[in-house]
Structure 1
Amino acid sequence: MDGGGRHPLSVFSNGARLAFRRDDLGKEIMGIAVPGALALLADPLASLVDTAFIGHIGPVELAAVGVSIAVFNQVSRIAIFPLVSVTTSFVAEEDATSSDRCKDEISSDKERNVSDCEMDQLIPREDTSTTSAGKSPFQTDSREVERKNIPSVSTALLVGGVLGLVQTVLLVLCAKPILGFMGVKPDSGMLKPALQYLVLRSLGAPAVLLSLAMQGVFRGLKDTKTPLYASVVGDTINIVLDPIFMFVFHYGVGGAAVAHVISQYFIAAILLWKLRLHVELLPPSLKHLQIGRFLKNGFLLLTRVIAATCCVTLSASMAARLGSTQMAAFQICLQIWLASSLLADGLAFAAQAILASAFARKDQSKAIATASRVLQLGMVLGVLLSILIGVGLRIGSTLFTENQDVLNHIYMATPFVALTQPINALAFVFDGVNYGASDFAYAAYSMILVAIVSIVCIVTLTSYGGFIGIWIALSIYMCLRMFAGFWRIGTAQGPWAFLRD
């Protein structure tokens, strides 16, 4: 499949009839996307379980935890997304190039072996002490114990561990002023439970950052099953411990936080144990660490994440200022909105890993085919999620709260949560496409422009429309994100300039 002679916009409709075809590309995409999406859903679902349990304590506690989760998640995103995205791309590139080198070496070895065999026929070997397999009984097959040496792995673990410790210290020391900025006033009933949950939850930040760094490594290796298994085990522990700590030991919202922290350390331990079996965790020397490369591209994505974080955090802050009822409803809708949209991130991971390998090998045909397929699948996924959430949120809202005022606000937000799903799905998939092409600069600068417009919309529309105004503004924000991704490929700029050839 060649992009030559075609209009750049044709990449969106290229092979549309084959979107669900189970060819090699389709199997590769789904093999990465499905486990990756399920692994991503595990943590938001665990947060939804926390939300459901806490919702039965009372609306004030539910609103308080909503603010704390929003703060923790947004602070984590500032570190996680640059780290994971850069790690995935770099590991995929290095793994692809190292695999190509290994193939070349194997081909050279075969040629040498053929020459050796010809010489053996002329000059028989005097040493016959080898086994019938052609090697000493004391020798081991190095391929059986050999682990991959990928410098980005060591760098990602180092950066992840340091960032996790920094996040813990920051949130423990600054929890109260941060909550105040989020609209939780000193005389508010939300302050005590929000402060308790945030401080305890922050103790798990090192495990969260290390886990996500290792997930980035596994994604770059096109293995999303291992992170899925680890997440399922950890979040099952969280779900089991939640009611025990909250209702048996009567720790309340603090019990939910402790259960979540324990589960995160279990996930980190499992991933670290599995990773050491496949990859060298320590670099041969400090000079092999790619700190400079990580910092350069990580800083670009950091500016992007900060811009995106400002939009979501400002929305949560505006909801908190409207009152505990509005904040409780906003928290439930936001968790569902993000959790459902993260399904598209599975496709984004597949796009990033496959495209990074394709660009490293200069395989333009595969790059075009991959981008087309994941965008088409993203659109279909968004439509299905829209239908599912439109029906499910209306029926299942009582699982989170029985407060009628909160339920009424959830019903008001349901159309926005449901109808924006196709837009959200495409926006997330475009992120994966940009990262796979290592187009980090455009991803950063375009998000800054999107955030500026969106922040103005959030402040203005909330002033006039209140709770509904927040959701209108968030819908505009996601539309702008989708358009930014569409523009890059559609105009054949940056790494996609070859589409004009």
Structure 2
Amino acid sequence: MAVDAILYMRKSVDKMPLWVFFKNTRDVFKRDELGLEIATIAFPAALALTADPIASLIDTAFIGHIGPVELAAVGVAIAIFNQASKIAIFPLVSVTTSFVAEEDAVGSLIHKENDIEIPERSFPGDGEKEGLIPRVDTYKSPTSSNQRRHIPSASSALVIGAVLGLFQALFLIVSAKPILEYMGIESDSPMLNPARQYLTLRSLGAPAVLLSLAMQGVFRGFKDTKTPLYATLLGDGANIILDPIFIFVFRMGVSGAAIAHVISQYLISLVLLWRLMGQVDLLPPSIKDLQFSRFLKNGFLLLMRVIAATFCVTLAASMAARLGSTSMAAFQICLQVWLAASLLADGLAVAGQAILASAFARKDLDKATATASRVLQLGLALGLVLSVIVAVILQFGSRLFTDDPDVLQMLSLGIPFVAGTQSINALAFVFDGVNFGASDFVYSAYSMVLVSVVSTLCLFLLSASFGFVGIWMALSMFMSLRAFAGFWRIGTGTGPWSFLRL
């Protein structure tokens, strides 16, 4: 009886949705089939995602040696450009990854079912004459290595990405000055001219940025994160080489940094497009074959989400700019390190999204549960490691970014928040990927809007009372609420996770 009671209790616990966070914790680093699949997707994705922030950090380091005014100006311009890019492309990339993974999984199932042996036509008596059995040919899947995939979502993503990129470039070039003034840089501020120059020139690369990210979404859906990594490393390598040449040799200052970045983005796009054309039939049979309505429906939900998510960070940058160039320069360094470290966890989010989207399409709920558990546990472990690494980098490597003593002093105030929130940030990013993999776009959008409203109120209150430190207190609260929203959805077994309660 005692044994039966223990077994019953264990089964009851296993059916509690909350148990998914603690399931098979001893196997978190196990190199089994699932662990290797996650690693082969997450590791290249993490490197690709952090390559661009690292390139921005190198930009920041070069520009920081020009002067604190230029550093602060570029910080504001980068915040604006990133806000516009995320609003335009983040919904597209996330939706594309899920849609492509689903279409590829369903296509594989269909072709596997059709992978039957079909006897070759033969004339009666031929086999008997030669004493042979008639030859059998095997049906070849259109997804085999010598044929290109037909994935309508890929074509749709590229069209939408190109259009959005052109629109973003025109908008930022025409509206650069009023946007900068809205961000707190007045017409008589010494930051205005360098910020405007950098933002205008970098906006020329917007079509390449959005198109390359759309293509990265397609490759992620195929669970191929190595190709985007190689392209990104090539482009960012060119950026690192061109930066000192344009900035110091040609004496172009912040304009040189922007031009180097634009060249690198177009190089990335060309490499990805060349590789994608060899794998996917990008020209659909007809316009009807494209899936614009499906993209727009789900993309609008994620557009709400990304506006809410990036609004807090952009508002924080604006408040830091209003405190002066010293505060803005310190904020820019902290923010770039914060984002670069946190995006390592986004590699796990990409792996979770791609694997979960495929598992849900195949109705493999056991794999969906195991994947969600594993990536969340890995995210927590990664966050703890990143906390130590970031603390060491900022404590002992701050002078790589600036020599200004006032900026360094202000920077020291942000280190505890940037380093201490890495575990929370990692979980927040991984929860996003898990929910996107389950196509839970509605909950992701509305929960983020609520989180943003609460965080914005905290940002106004805390920054007014504590200044620079208050801004980072509010950003830490913002990431904590994001992580809690993801935890609540899965932990309560609602929405697409209702099967956890069965």
Q: TM-score, normalization: structure 2?
A: 0.94
Which position in structure 1 is the counterpart of 2:67?
A: 58
**Contact conserved, 2:13 with 2:19, CA < 8 A, in 1?**
no
The correspondence of residues 315-464 of structure 1 with structure 2, limited to 5 A, is 315-464=316-465
Sequence identity, in percent? 66
Distance 1:32 1:141, change over 3 A: closer
In the TM superposition, what whole-angstrom CA distance separates every residue of 1:300-320 from its partner, at most 9, and x where no partner exists? 000000001110000000000
Letter matched to residue 307 of structure 2: I
Mapped to 2, the partners of 1:248 and 1:319 lie a distance apart of 32
Letter matched to residue 49 of structure 1: I
Which position in structure 1 is the counterpart of 2:37?
A: 28
Distance 1:259 1:133, change over 3 A: farther
The correspondence of residues 169-208 of structure 1 with structure 2, limited to 5 A, is 169-208=170-209
Letter matched to residue 259 of structure 2: V
In the TM superposition, what whole-angstrom CA distance separates every residue of 1:267-301 from its partner, at most 9, and x where no partner exists? 00000000011111111110000000000000000
Distance 1:4 1:294, change over 3 A: farther
Mapped to 2, the partners of 1:35 and 1:146 lie a distance apart of 25
| Aligned with 2:16 (options 7, 31, 35) | 7
Mapped to 2, the partners of 1:400 and 1:281 lie a distance apart of 43
Distance 1:4 1:461, change over 3 A: closer
Which position in structure 2 is the counterpart of 1:256?
A: 257
In the TM superposition, what whole-angstrom CA distance separates every residue of 1:3-47 from its partner, at most 9, and x where no partner exists? 995210010000100000000000000100000000001110111
1:123: how far off?
3.6
Distance 1:3 1:180, change over 3 A: farther
Which position in structure 2 is the counterpart of 1:69?
A: 78
Mapped to 2, the partners of 1:144 and 1:213 lie a distance apart of 23
1:145: how far off?
3.4
**Contact conserved, 1:4 with 1:499, CA < 8 A, in 2?**
no
- Where structure 2 has 5 or more consecutive residues not aligned to the other structure, the ranges are 1-10
Letter matched to residue 226 of structure 1: T
1:339: how far off?
0.6
Distance 1:225 1:457, change over 3 A: same
Letter matched to residue 208 of structure 2: A
Which position in structure 2 is the counterpart of 1:16?
A: 25
Mapped to 2, the partners of 1:486 and 1:6 lie a distance apart of 17
Mapped to 2, the partners of 1:10 and 1:351 lie a distance apart of 18
Letter matched to residue 355 of structure 1: L
Q: TM-score, normalization: structure 1?
A: 0.94
Letter matched to residue 410 of structure 2: H
User: Is 1:40 aligned with 2:42?
Assistant: no
Mapped to 2, the partners of 1:239 and 1:141 lie a distance apart of 43
In the TM superposition, what whole-angstrom CA distance separates every residue of 1:363-407 from its partner, at most 9, and x where no partner exists? 100000000000000000000000111122110000000000000
Letter matched to residue 366 of structure 1: K
Letter matched to residue 199 of structure 2: L
Mapped to 1, the partners of 2:302 and 2:229 lie a distance apart of 25
| Aligned with 1:124 (options 123, 126, 132) | 126
**Contact conserved, 2:161 with 2:211, CA < 8 A, in 1?**
yes
Mapped to 2, the partners of 1:397 and 1:147 lie a distance apart of 49
Distance 1:249 1:492, change over 3 A: same
| Aligned with 2:111 (options 102, 108, 116) | 102
**Contact conserved, 1:283 with 1:289, CA < 8 A, in 2?**
yes
Letter matched to residue 403 of structure 1: D
The correspondence of residues 241-320 of structure 1 with structure 2, limited to 5 A, is 241-320=242-321
- Where structure 1 has 5 or more consecutive residues not aligned to the other structure, the ranges are none
Distance 1:120 1:15, change over 3 A: same
Distance 1:104 1:4, change over 3 A: farther
**Contact conserved, 1:3 with 1:499, CA < 8 A, in 2?**
no
RMSD: 2.0
User: Secondary structure at 2:114's aligned position in 1?
Assistant: helix
Which position in structure 2 is the counterpart of 1:228?
A: 229
Mapped to 1, the partners of 2:206 and 2:67 lie a distance apart of 27
Distance 1:144 1:425, change over 3 A: closer
Letter matched to residue 55 of structure 1: G
User: Secondary structure at 2:467's aligned position in 1?
Assistant: helix
Mapped to 2, the partners of 1:280 and 1:349 lie a distance apart of 24
User: Secondary structure at 2:186's aligned position in 1?
Assistant: coil
In the TM superposition, what whole-angstrom CA distance separates every residue of 1:123-156 from its partner, at most 9, and x where no partner exists? 4279x9xxx9999xxxx99856310000000000
Mapped to 2, the partners of 1:209 and 1:425 lie a distance apart of 24
